[in-house]
Structure 1
Amino acid sequence: MAGLSCFKTYDIRGRLGDELDAGIAYRIGRGFARVLDARRVVLGRDVRPSSEMLADAVARALRDEGVEVLDLDLSGTEETYAATDHFGADGGICVTASHNPLDYNGMKMVARGAAPLAQDNGLARIKALAEENDFGPARPGGALRDVAREARSAYVERVLSFVDVARLAPLHILVNAGNGAAGPTFDAIAQALAARGAPLRFTRMYHAPDGRFPNGIPNPLLPENRPDTAAAVVAHGADFAVAWDGDFDRCFFFDHLGGFVDGEYVVGLLAEVFLSREAGATILHDPRVIWNTREIVARAGGRAVATPTGHVFFKRAMRAEGAIYGGEMSAHHYFRDFSHCDSGMIPWLLIAELVSRNGPLAPLVAARRAAHPSSGEINFRLDDPEAALSRVRAAFEPRAHGVDETDGLSLDMGAWRFNLRLSNTEPLLRLNVETRGGAVAPHVEAVRRALQS
């Protein structure tokens, strides 16, 4: 049996037709049930036209393994996490390609308690079984149960537990669902907020789920995807805007002037929120851009811990370190009281409470950006990335004040710092530069020269 290229390090992603189809999805579903010895599995899906077909194949596979399938229908990845925990299921699968191109799809999978699956704790064995495709006849006892209403109700209650509605000021928030899965879930949260008397008003943008993505693939991390939201928040006079990716496990913020709030500053803001609630708590951050977060955490009396980039690393570290919150600059935000998982809905509620208490986002972020400017992630496509990384190390490490290899190469040069990481999937090096208040561009150029020399 040919190898399955859709299996990646932490999830499943592949081009439809040649890397992933209903037959492959069926084999993955049966392998998942076998490896987890599952009796109950939560199943959700995003809005892509192919997701329903793939989810149907997974459901059939699970039933053929004697599994009770708890069906969420159209939902976000984090709803799969929440429902897996809520129902005490043995695992959960969300059929989604998030922000990948339209001709792709995939799956995100978790074990009991929404614990992450990776190569070393199940994913490799699922792959092996799916490739062997020797499952035998169907087993008895399989069933399909629609739990969408109950699951969403429980999820909304859990999300709203993170915000004190009484502390919310009258705010106008623009929300851009990008025609992904976020719209219906957001509406359920907004309805519950209104029932509790929250003085929030919303303007909805690209809200209806549409797997053709008529307004472009929802991925606000890309600068070219931001102008519509930036213009709309100003045009509508909103206090801030939030935009989601396709399965809404990432969210992105714009201030009332239309300015995009870079992910590392959001991590700092949310760290401050949690440390105001729990003194001395542990905060996780990724190693790419660290100074702003570490300064905020230290000032608030917390403990900052760097964790390699990637949801499996963060979810494991959240548990190991007892962290209350963890954030990546790529807009994944993890919460202890949300099964240590990432959510794209909890952050905007916390930002609404923060703005209610401290005023507009723009000056809050401007102060932090002035203290610690950063370059944003810059990608370099090179013929030999490892040789280029060695050149940079040779050029800068002898003068560095500190070296950190938690994730790639991080060098502290005193007044400035950079992180350089090899891509796992492409011949790329990813560069992030930050400073202690000085200009960023000269340091980016210095690293660029070393890379390309």
Structure 2
Amino acid sequence: MAANEASNTATAKTGNRPRPVVGTVKNNDILDIEITEQDEALFGFEDHSEQGAQGGTQPTNAEEYAEDEANSQGSNLDVSQTIPDVVFRAYDIRGIAGSQVSNELAYKVGQSVASEALDDGENTLIIARDARLSSPELTEYLIRGVLSTGCDVLNIGTVPTPLMYFATEVLDTCSSGIIVTASHNPADHNGFKIVINGKCRSEEDIKAIRGRILKGEIYRGTGTEHRHDIVPQYIDTIFSDVALAGEISIVVDAANAVAGTVAPQLFEELGCQVTPLYCDLDGSFPNHSPDPSVEANLQDLIKAVQDAGADMGVAFDGDGDRLAVVTPKGKIIWPDRLLMLYARDIVSRNPGADVVFDVKSTRHLNKCITEVGGRPVMWKTGHSPMKAKMQETGALLGGEFSGHIFIKDRWYGFDDGLYAAARLIEIVSLQGQSLDDLCEELPQSVATPEIRVPVSEDKKFALIESLRASGNFADAKITCIDGLRADFSKGWGLVRASNTSAAITLRFEADTPDFLHKLKALFVREIRKIDNTINIDWK
């Protein structure tokens, strides 16, 4: 059904809303290095961290579950066992499909989020999903849960997360939605990203979703499901915004994930010569994991770009909100350096604009943003806190090292890997230089990718707190807005707890390879003092 028809249905319900019914550090290359007195002086030491919802019929088991759940309303069953706290994370709900993110959880999340939306005056939720194998069934249960509250559903099918965000911005129906996705996580994971009244959920908001479920503060009613194809409007809007000065050849790696449903068509419409790579959907991700922040996952793209003689290669994560870029010479432009290119373009036309970046980003961003007349703002990692900071500051640009790029200039400010790629293509075409040449103009340094170290959920935050309390980083400038970042005159290191998986993450940047090596050794030494069972692989 068209969006305006769904909107009319929702409007008719405003005055008749249903009421709630309460019911071991190991590394041969690092650990054999002694930090000498000369090294300690260097650090500054003194002597003393499309299918599923849109395809097929409604499964009978989802209908039966909805009926059984409704009939059991008011029972004293403890649902906390099937609503595990561990999946309610800082930015979204995410875990292993089946054992942690179950059909029952999907149904309950649908009920809880819909009830929250109804409280906020929203009568329709936009529902979407990614291409994971578990997404179709989870989406069916999610939709049943939403409908059971009396909230309507506008099902936009199998699309990247940015298209769900886009729909909440441009459709009259509503400004709230849920997408079933686990983003860049492995194929056996799944979860939910949530927007209510145009805002992503904070950590407290995510916890409140579980709290509402446990308290039984759920609306009751009968909603209606409608369907809408948002892809044409999304492509047309970008086509009207982005102008290329000439044909650009690109290779598009979608990792067999949901970006493959939109990206090739979008870039062809813009006038690019497109070579698709892994753009057919396969939720098992057979070619490589859908995480473009991992260098190994970009090797096929590098080869394809060089084989095709393309002007660039672009890679997207499992739900299309993150971007990685490869140059014609096969170099990876990590997103924090990519942000410098966007800043030069956007801030130069908007003097005084704020640019927000996360704690994992290069220290060169400060100088780059300042030189073009902007104000650099370092903030926490994560798409939700980044968006909140951008709204707070009115920033026109934001970015994370993981590949989330937020553009408010001519766009809506949400993280959108596809739109960010389109804007980069525009920059390259208008500058008349190769991407390699543009990157050569940027400040150079020696840096690591993001290093992920497995640490259990119950230990990772405690480890960071201990480092903050007792870590010895001499005269470094310490930043603790997210983990622990130690900035020295010749480089910096970071350790933080991941908010999306059982891990800590580290990153380092330095003026020279030697100082980079010493930074790693310093952080290993401090981590060893707290927990010598954590295994760190620097590869």
Fold shared, TM-score > 0.5 on shorter chain: yes
Structure 2 gaps of 5+ residues are: 1-77, 530-539
Q: Name the residue aligned to 1:272.
A: 344
The alignment status of 1:190 with 2:267, answered yes or no, reads yes
CA contact (8 A) 1:389 1:420 kept: no
Give the drift of 1:315. 0.7
Q: Is 1:409 aligned with 2:487?
A: no
Q: Which has the larger radius of gyration?
A: 2
Q: Secondary structure at the match of 2:324?
A: strand
Is the 8 Å Cα contact of residues 89 and 499 (structure 2) preserved in structure 1? no
Larger relative contact order (CA 8 Å, sep ≥ 6): 2
Please list the CA deviations of residues 112-167 of structure 1 after superposition, one character each: whole Å capped at 9, or x if unmatched: 12x111243x333321233355747x514x2111111xx222222333455223xx
1:342 Cα offset (Å):
0.4
Alpha-carbon displacement from aligned partner over 1:234-260 (angstroms, at most 9, x marks no partner): 111111100111111111111112221
Q: Is structure 2 residue 117 aligned with structure 1 residue 117?
A: no
Matched, 1:102 2:176: no
Unaligned 5+ segments in structure 1 are none
Instruction: State the superposition RMSD in angstroms.
Output: 2.4
Which shows bigger deviation, 153-162 or 218-227?
A: 153-162
- The 8 Å contact of residues 35 and 125 in structure 1, kept in 2 or not, is answered as no
Check if 1:340 corresponds to 2:444: no
Q: Distance in 1 between matches of 2:501 and 2:283?
A: 27
Q: Residue deviations 1:251-278, cap 9 Å, x none?
A: 1111112221122111111111211332
- The Cα shift of 1:55 comes to 1.2
Query: Given the alignment, which residue of 128, 133, 143 partners 2:211?
Result: 128
Equivalent residues in 2 for 1:83-94, closer than 5 Å = 83-88=167-172, 89-94=174-179
Return the match for 2:321 from 229, 244, 249. 249
Shift of 1:417: 2.3
Distance 1:307 1:157, change over 3 A: farther
Pairing 1:362-377 to 2, within 5 Å after superposition: 362-368=436-442, 370=444, 372-377=445-450
* Number of aligned positions between the proteins: 436
SS at match of 1:210: coil
Asked if structure 1 preserves the Cα contact closer than 8 Å seen for 2:112 and 2:212, the reply is yes
CA contact (8 A) 1:378 1:432 kept: yes
SS in 2 for 1:72: strand
| 1:99-248 alignment runs, 5 A limit | 99-113=184-198, 115-120=199-204, 122-132=205-215, 135=218, 138-140=220-222, 142-148=223-229, 151-160=230-239, 162-165=241-244, 168-193=245-270, 198=271, 200-248=272-320
Q: Which residue of 2 aligns with 1:350?
A: 423
The Cα offsets for residues 383-423 of structure 1, whole Å up to 9 and x where unpaired, read as: 883487259732x23x23x3322222222221222223234
Aligned to 2:163: 79
Partner of 2:145: 61
Percent identity for Structure 1 against Structure 2 = 28
Structure 1 residue 428: Cα displacement = 4.9
Distance 1:414 1:284, change over 3 A: same
SS of the residue aligned with 2:208? helix
Cα displacement string for residues 254-313 of structure 1 (whole angstroms, at most 9, x for unaligned residues)? 111222112211111111121133222111111223422112111101111111111111
- Of 183-192 and 280-289, more deviation after overlay is shown by 183-192
- Residue 187 to residue 139, structure 1, CA distance change in 2 (3 Å): same
Equivalences for residues 383-394 of structure 1 within 5 A: 385-386=463-464, 389=467, 393-394=471-472
CA drift at 1:369: 5.4
For residue 100 of structure 2, the aligned residue among 19, 24, 31 is: 19
Q: Normalising by structure 1, what TM-score?
A: 0.89
What SS does the corresponding residue of 1:301 show, helix, strand or coil? coil
With over 3 angstroms needed to count, the CA separation of the structure-2 counterparts of 1:173 and 1:340, relative to structure 1, is same
8 Å contact 2:94–2:500 — kept in the other structure?
no
